[in-house]
Amino acid sequence: MELRYGGGANYNMGIVIDMDAESTAPCSSYNVGVDASVNRGGADNIGNYIEVSRGVNNIGIWSRIGPFGPPSPVCTGGYNYAGVFEGDVIGTGTFTGNTSLPSDIKFKKNIETINNADSLLNLINAVSFVYKRNEFPDMHFDSLSHYGFIAQEVEAIMPELVKTSQLPALRDRDNNITRAALEFKTVSYEAFIPLLVKGYQQQKELIDSLTTGNDSALAELQERLDSTTNANAATIAAMQNNINTLLDRMAAVENC
């Protein structure tokens, strides 16, 4: 099916799907607004391809979670997701929002404590840079300065944090390639968070150890100083006693 829509109205819609809340379907029912499947041999299989342009504001997909529509009993107690993607997601441009990554222990094995965070972080070269916006317009880079790493440099040190991705090629309706596929490397920046946490902990342990060692050395030095001071005081007192004794003897001789 091919659907095209154009017009000069203020609000234009190519496809309208309405499954309103007045339906008597029970909360256990399974409701799907659009069900698309592409399962056949081919160079590229795309379930949903959307192009939007020439507007003041352009939105390719707008997904909201309700309830919306006429008042009616609302099913509750389940989850609410504006989108679910099972598999890798490649995007260009800027992402705005919050991310939460799976971290449940039931998904993990071979769990080991990081013991060399400091040494790894010392090998990483942090840089500032500006994206090549004009050379790669399909990546939708901005013109701002950024801080980060070079994927190839990180790959040489921690290859598990670097992944090779590909922006798929675009084809027209005659199956001609209008934009070649673009392969590029990505860095898992969130993986640096546990490294930084462990690096901080290791540095704090070192500082605490040095502080404790310095405190012990200072206490020992103070003890030696006090001992020396006490010994000197005793020596001075003995010398003063000898001087007094000598003065008494000299006075006795003078009186004879």
pLDDT tens per residue across span 201-228: 988 888 888 887 677 777 777 777 777 7
Q: Which residues of 102-133 are buried (b: 16+ CB within 10 A; e: fewer)?
A: eeeeeeeeeeeeeeebbeebeebeeeeeeeee
Give me the percent of the chain exceeding a pLDDT of 70. 81
Residues 6+ apart with CB under 8 A from 60: 50, 51, 52
Q: What's the pLDDT band for 187 if we cut at 50, 70, 90?
A: very high
35 φ, ψ (degrees, to nearest 5): -125, 110
Q: What's the pLDDT band for 192 if we cut at 50, 70, 90?
A: very high
Specify the pLDDT at position 22.
54
pLDDT for 92-142, tens place per residue? 777 777 778 888 999 999 999 999 998 999 999 999 999 999 999 989 899
Q: Is pLDDT larger for residue 17 or for residue 178?
A: 178
Contacts 24+ apart (CB under 8 A), 110-115: 113/198, 114/194, 114/195, 114/198
Q: What's the pLDDT band for 191 if we cut at 50, 70, 90?
A: very high
Rounded average pLDDT over 192-209: 90
